[in-house]
Amino acid sequence: MTPADKRAALAQRIRAREIVIAPGIYDMISVRIADQQNHPALYMTGYGTVASYLGLPDAGLASYTDMVHRAGQMAAGSNTPIIADADTGYGGLLNVQHTIRGFEAAGIAAIQIEDQEFPKKCGHTLGRRVIDAADMVEKIKVACDARQDPNFLIIARTDSRTALGLDEAIDRAGAYQAAGADVLFVEAPESEEEFAKIAASIDAPLLANMVEGGRSPILSRERLAALGFALAIYPGTGFTAAAAALEQAYRCIRDTGSTDTLQVPLYPVTEMHKLMGFESVWDFEKKWTK
C-alpha cells in the first residue's frame, strides 16, 4: 500500500467509528512481526521508541529528528497504517508545522500531539503540567493547516485529567475538536465510569490508551466499542513483553551457562531469517554470484 492508501484506509475506519485496535511498535523487529498479522493500524509508541533507540526515559529528551527518522523507517517497512506519537509537536507553532509536514512525508498515517508543557512526561506518570488550552488550540489549527493529505489524521491529546480533573479534560477535548482535531484523546481516565463520561460528553472519534499497570483500567474491545471509542492503542504491551522475555533469557544464560533449561519461547531462527528478508538476499546471490 502507498502512504496515501494507508492514510485513506485508516481514516475511513476512524470516521466511521469502527473500533480500531492498534498494538504498540517500537523497533523494526516489532514492526515486521506486527505487520504480518494484518492489524488495522499500528501505534509507534514514544516511550518504547525512545527507550529502544536512545535508552532514555520518555521525558522530552528525544528530538524531532530522532523520532521522524525512526517513523520513516517504520512506515517504509510496513504495509499497515502507522499512528505516530509526536509529543508536543517539538516546540512552538512553527515547529508544529514542520513536525506535521515531516511525519506526513515520512509515510505516517496519523499523528498525535499533546497539550503538555515542554519537556513532556509519559502520560501515566505524575507531575505532568499542561499549557493553556488556547495555546493548544492554536497548535491544532496549525497542524490541520500544515497537512497536505486530508486523510492524515490529527489526534489531539490532553494530559489535564490527572492534575486538573476530568471536567477540565473534557472541556479541553471539546475545544480541540472545534479547532479541527480528527480524534480526541483524554489521557489517563481513572475508571470505567470516566471512560463512559468522556464518550457521553464528546461526539467525535475517541482514543483509549490501554496501558497495563497504568492509571486507567484495561477495557475490552467490545466494551470500548459499546461506549463509542473509535481507536484503542496498546503502546507498552510489546516492549514490556520483550523486556520480560529478555530478562528471563539473559538470567538463564548467566545462571546456567546454557539455554537448555530456558522457559521463554524463542522465535524460530528460520522464521527470523524470513522476517528480516534474508530470502531476497539469497535469491540475489544465486543470480549474481559467479
Query: What is the spatial distance between Cα 178 and Cα 175, in angstroms, rounded to a whole number?
Result: 5
Distance, CA of 174 to chain centre: 22
Q: Are residues 125 and 253 in the same domain?
A: no
For residue range 166-204, what is the model confidence (pLDDT) as tens digits? Answer: 999 999 999 999 999 999 999 999 999 999 999 999 999
Give the SS3 label for residue 78. coil
- Mean pLDDT, contiguous 10-residue spans, the chain (290 residues): 96 96 98 97 97 93 95 97 96 97 98 89 72 97 98 97 95 98 97 98 97 95 97 98 97 97 96 96 92
For residue range 14-55, what is the model confidence (pLDDT) as tens digits? Answer: 999 999 999 999 999 999 999 999 999 999 999 999 999 999
- Quote the pTM value: 0.95
Q: Are residues 87 and 117 in the same domain?
A: yes
Q: Are residues 224 and 258 in the same domain?
A: no
Which CATH number covers residue 109?
Answer: 3.20.20.60
Last residue of one domain, picked from the residues 218, 237, 256: 237
Q: Are residues 68 and 153 in the same domain?
A: yes
Last residue of one domain, picked from the residues 194, 213, 237: 237
Query: What is the spatial distance between Cα 14 and Cα 115, in angstroms, rounded to a whole number?
Result: 22
Q: Are residues 164 and 284 in the same domain?
A: no
User: How is the chain split among helix, strand and coil, in percent rounded to 5?
Assistant: 50, 15, 40
The per-type count for the chain, helices as H runs and strands as E runs, is 13, 8
Look up the domain containing 277 and give its range. Answer: 243-288
Q: Are residues 258 and 187 in the same domain?
A: no
Tell me the residue type at 221.
R
Distance, CA of 188 to chain centre: 15
**Running DSSP on this structure, what letter comes out for residue 40?**
S
Q: Are residues 8 and 94 in the same domain?
A: yes
Number of domain units in the chain? 2
